[in-house]
Structure 1
């Protein structure tokens, strides 16, 4: 389930490496605290046919020295050097259930595939501002489950419209997965074939998906803002050809109400 949500948020909110709160209201030079709740329309897992609407609680504390604590970005440190932004954080990949555990987690389409356990991740990001266009690179490296592999994300964003209350931007991104990552999420071993009924399939390293979307941030007053996004996610290469993939192209819809203290 985490994987599906991550793909949605990537396509909607984090092309430039900013959080919900940073997109909605630029952070001041000092400490800041933002909290909110959103809704996301996401597939049950990456490539699933069924979808669900999920709540997305959000809280982020940032400090003037660059340290941040965030439900979205994890616990880490970020800094800006000229037109470059750099950050390093400890995050969590919640894994994937192999059955519909409840409304919020899992899918019966994955029965027999086995559970993918939660894993701590090192999240390293770098961004550069080319005029009005922001480009970025992020890698998520699994720490305690190295067998799950790693991902590498390329992203870009550009403003379309901006005034005192509304900011509209366009973003695009691509996720590359190594052999271990692709096999974990899209491959089917001989043992999994016996229990799931899916044909045996080996997923190799390659671009997992590409995304594009439009984000709209509306400032309601000095404290409240609304961040929304509409986009599309397209699975690629071996992810698209996996027997687990029922739908290669998925809509991505999210909205969040944020309060800045």
Structure 2
């Protein structure tokens, strides 16, 4: 994963699981960190996103941005949710990253559709990612596995990102198609409805037992514009289409929407 790739959807696991998960866990500012041993970033963004994965109701939430990186090898960050990452292997074009991050779950009070279904905690998620750069194109694959909580799922996300200079070379535009496959545990806990949940659902949702499969496909557009030498303005818009078993869930088909949008805007200061 490139350090500049704030806008990558590699770790977006649905806006209901973590509002902060609109970022990849590496520096968003400089294309080249140079030889500096330490780098620091702090900022604030506002995110507009569904109130649960598959919802058609949206909310705005603040997203704090903080990152401390040492030699492009160890990174403590809030990008993508609070996490700690290490570059396990890297060449000029190829990179392997390992880490652990925290992802939020969902509350039954978040939306009327969730009434009676109970809360879903997620917590710690183990992450492994590989990426390969070919000029302005980068191809990446991330595997994420829940280490605790209620979801107990595994997700695999594949993306291809193309970056280009815009505004006379002063800014950077990224275009990234992506798709995510999830296992049965993830699908079950995020989109399924057990017999007991169906019995207690305030809206009378039917029991639903989905299988593993493609969760979504989508496209992300992002722009980073340097306001000063140390301040970067950020904007990102993502569209994802829930697929197959996820789209057929009563939480999506009856009470939400398979079309998922999100947007985020913010400022980051680097020193």
C-alpha deviation, 1:64, in angstroms: 1.0
Tell me the SS of whatever aligns to 1:192: helix
Q: How does 1:212-231 map to 2 (within 5 A)?
A: 212-231=219-238
For the pair 1:132 / 2:136, whether they are aligned, the reply is: yes
Tell me the SS of whatever aligns to 1:185: helix
| TM-score, structure 1 as length reference | 0.88
Question: Which residue of 253, 256, 260 maps to 2:263?
Answer: 253
Give the Cα–Cα distance (whole angstroms) in 1 for the partners of residues 125 and 261 of structure 2: 27
Contact 1:165 1:220 in 2 (8 A): no
Question: Which residue of 142, 161, 165 maps to 1:161?
Answer: 165
1:58 maps to what in 2? Answer: 65
Task: In structure 1, list runs of 5 or more residues that go unmatched.
Answer: 100-105
1:102 maps to what in 2? Answer: none
Contact 1:62 1:69 in 2 (8 A): yes
Question: Which residue of 53, 57, 75 maps to 2:84?
Answer: 75
Cα–Cα, structure 1 residues 118 and 231, in superposed 2: closer, same or farther, change >3 Å? closer
C-alpha deviation, 1:192, in angstroms: 0.6
Contact 1:3 1:96 in 2 (8 A): no
C-alpha deviation, 1:239, in angstroms: 0.6
Tell me the SS of whatever aligns to 2:250: coil
For the pair 1:4 / 2:15, whether they are aligned, the reply is: yes
| TM-score, structure 2 as length reference | 0.85
C-alpha deviation, 1:165, in angstroms: 2.0
Flag as ranges the 4+ runs of structure 1 deviating above 4 A. 5-10
Question: Which residue of 21, 33, 36 maps to 2:40?
Answer: 33
Give the Cα–Cα distance (whole angstroms) in 1 for the partners of residues 46 and 199 of structure 2: 37
Give the Cα–Cα distance (whole angstroms) in 2 for the partners of residues 198 and 54 of structure 1: 28
C-alpha deviation, 1:149, in angstroms: 1.3
For the pair 1:112 / 2:116, whether they are aligned, the reply is: yes
Give the Cα–Cα distance (whole angstroms) in 1 for the partners of residues 49 and 35 of structure 2: 34
Contact 2:214 2:244 in 1 (8 A): yes
Give the Cα–Cα distance (whole angstroms) in 2 for the partners of residues 201 and 81 of structure 1: 46
Cα–Cα, structure 1 residues 130 and 65, in superposed 2: closer, same or farther, change >3 Å? closer
Cα–Cα, structure 1 residues 28 and 9, in superposed 2: closer, same or farther, change >3 Å? farther
Contact 1:217 1:227 in 2 (8 A): yes
Higher relative contact order (CA closer than 8 Å, sequence separation 6+): 1
What's the Cα RMSD here? 2.1
C-alpha deviation, 1:25, in angstroms: 2.5
C-alpha deviation, 1:198, in angstroms: 0.7
C-alpha deviation, 1:238, in angstroms: 0.6
Aligned length: 248
C-alpha deviation, 1:38, in angstroms: 0.5
